[in-house]
Amino acid sequence: MKWQKKKSQKKEKKRRFFKRKTDQESVNLLEPEQALDNQQPASDSPEDTQEVKQSEHQEIVPVKMEKKRIFKRLKERLTKSRKTMGVWGKKRLDDELLEMVEESLITADIGVETTMTIMEALNDQVRKKIITSTEQLQSTVLHELMQRLPKSEFSEDDFIYNPHVILVVGINGVGKTTTIGKLASRLTSQGKKVIIGAADTFRAAAVEQLELWAERASADIVRHKENADPAAVAFDTVQAAISRKADVAIIDTAGRLHTKKNLMEEIKKIRRSIAKKLPDAPHDTFLILDATTGQNAVSQAQLFHQALNVTGIILTKLDGTARGGIVVSIANTLDIPIRYIGIGETTHDLQNFDSELFVRALIEPE
Ligand code: GDP
Ligand code: MG
């Protein structure tokens, strides 16, 4: 009978799903983590979830496992910062430990003011005996930090325009070109057509570097001669994106000091030139900030934002600093969401910013 057939198909689907899940979990990437699992909608019935439907056809790794893999990598890459925050070896809850926590928050660049308010909360709860163990102290720090970070639900699905034009700005050496390469790879691997515009025309080497990344990502590139007008390159990139029906156009620009007025004017000209071709573009202006520059990143962001209405921050080189707490500082001080983080120099070292994963990677012991 028809319904019986359907039922047995469903059963088979369920069996295959659990088999795949068990196979994957036997890789044992991480110990099961309750709170991490809680991030995903609970699902007792696999047929109901989209991830199952997808995995039937495309062998997509279930989201939970993917998240654990991402978390594992993030933890590895944040080792330097985690060492700063790693004060939990001490088992006794006393004034000395509280001082160590305070020092680690300051050293990690969470910001003096934020540290003070967190310490007030901790001291208060210790006094009232709400916190009575090191573990409770640790989880309260985690909670306090998490509270200060907006939950980020951004993904590439938010690149909704056709083409979605992204302008990438920032000072010299922060990782603009590298990040564009990583992002382009990410997008093309999702089946999107990507065009990159080489509007950093100051140095031939800059274009060559971008070309390499474009090649790696199987993305198209629009380039002009050295010293060409960057606004013209940007215009042509958008034009090419429209005519070649690209999903995303990403425009690289030369590093500029946020304090130099003429350079900021130049980037405004690039913006106008993009809008001339496509009136609501650029749809995103991403500011790249180098996490190793500490608090200076915050003032850079303020000035760029005033001039360009930045829609997202990408914080790079978090693998190279012990001051990963700068993320909290930036999120607290600025009204601009952190979209991605850079945690290394390879294609895979760009992650969507997930505040909970980030704080946990920062605080949790091995
Ligand atoms: P741009 O001048 O802003 O375009 O910066 P580049 O993309 O040329 O990058 C400058 C340097 O920073 C290069 O050596 C990159 O490999 C390096 N870099 C970029 N992002 C990261 C990152 O997330 N981690 C590390 N460790 N290095 C990075
Ligand atoms: Mg560059």
SS (H, E, C) the chain: CHHHHHHHHHHHHHHHHHHHHHHHHCCCCCCCCHHHHHCCCCCCCHHHCHHHHHHHHHCCCCHHHHHHHHHHHHHHHCHHHHHHHCCCCCCCCCHHHHHHHHHHHHHCCCCHHHHHHHHHHHHHHHHCCCCCCHHHHHHHHHHHHHHCCCCCCCCHHHCCCCCEEEEEECCCCCCHHHHHHHHHHHHHHCCCCEEEEEECCCCHHHHHHHHHHHHHHCCEEECCCCCCCHHHHHHHHHHHHHHCCCCEEEEEECCCCCCCHHHHHHHHHHHHHHHHHCCCCCCEEEEEEEHHHCCHHHHHHHHHHHHHCCCEEEEECHHHCCCCCHHHHHHHHCCCCEEEEECCCCCCCEEECCHHHHHHHHHCCC
Question: Which atom from ligand 1 is nearest to the alpha carbon of 343?
Answer: 23
Q: What distance in angstroms lies between residue 254's CA and the mean position of ligand 2's atoms? A: 6
Question: Which atom from ligand 1 is nearest to the alpha carbon of 316?
Answer: 23
Residue closest to 352 by CA, chosen among 336, 338, 366, 365: 338
Q: What distance in angstroms lies between residue 268's CA and the mean position of ligand 1's atoms? A: 24
Question: Which atom from ligand 1 is nearest to the alpha carbon of 252?
Answer: 4
Q: What distance in angstroms lies between residue 252's CA and the mean position of ligand 2's atoms? A: 7
Task: Profile the chain (366 residues) by mean pLDDT over runs of 10 residues.
Answer: 48 43 35 36 36 42 74 92 78 90 91 93 95 91 89 83 96 96 96 96 90 97 92 98 98 83 87 96 97 89 90 96 90 90 95 92 78
Which residue is closest in CA terms to ligand 1's atom 26?
A: 344
Ligand approaching nearest to the C-alpha of 254: 2
Q: 79 vs 74, 108, 331, CA distance in Å?
A: 9, 12, 21
pLDDT of residue 363: 85
Q: Any residues with Cβ below 6 Å from ligand 1, and which?
A: 170, 172-178, 255, 288, 316-317, 319-320, 342-345, 349
pLDDT of residue 226: 83
Q: 307 vs 98, 161, 263, 315, CA distance in Å?
A: 42, 23, 11, 19
pLDDT of residue 338: 94
Which residue is closest in CA terms to ligand 1's atom 13?
A: 175
- The span from the CA of 229 to the CA of 178, in Å, is 22
Which residue is closest in CA terms to ligand 1's atom 6?
A: 175
By DSSP bridging, strand 194-199 and strand 248-253 are parallel
Q: What distance in angstroms lies between residue 301's CA and the mean position of ligand 2's atoms? A: 18
Which residue is closest in CA terms to ligand 1's atom 9?
A: 175
pLDDT of residue 366: 60
Ligand approaching nearest to the C-alpha of 292: 1
Query: CA torsion sign, 304 to 305 to 309 to 315?
Result: positive
Q: What distance in angstroms lies between residue 129's CA and the mean position of ligand 1's atoms? A: 47
Q: In this structure, are residues 270 and 253 in contact, taking their beta carbons and an 8 Å threshold?
A: yes
Ligand approaching nearest to the C-alpha of 210: 2
pLDDT of residue 3: 46
Q: What distance in angstroms lies between residue 171's CA and the mean position of ligand 2's atoms? A: 9
The protein residues having their C-beta less than 5 angstroms from ligand 2 (an ion) are: 176-177, 206
Ligand approaching nearest to the C-alpha of 171: 1
Question: Which atom from ligand 1 is nearest to the alpha carbon of 342?
Answer: 23
Mutate to test the pocket of ligand 1, among 186, 213, 257, 345 (most ligand atoms within 8 A of CB): 345
pLDDT of residue 92: 87
Mutate to test the pocket of ligand 1, among 178, 289, 321, 348 (most ligand atoms within 8 A of CB): 178
Question: Which atom from ligand 1 is nearest to the alpha carbon of 288?
Answer: 3
Q: What distance in angstroms lies between residue 331's CA and the mean position of ligand 1's atoms? A: 22
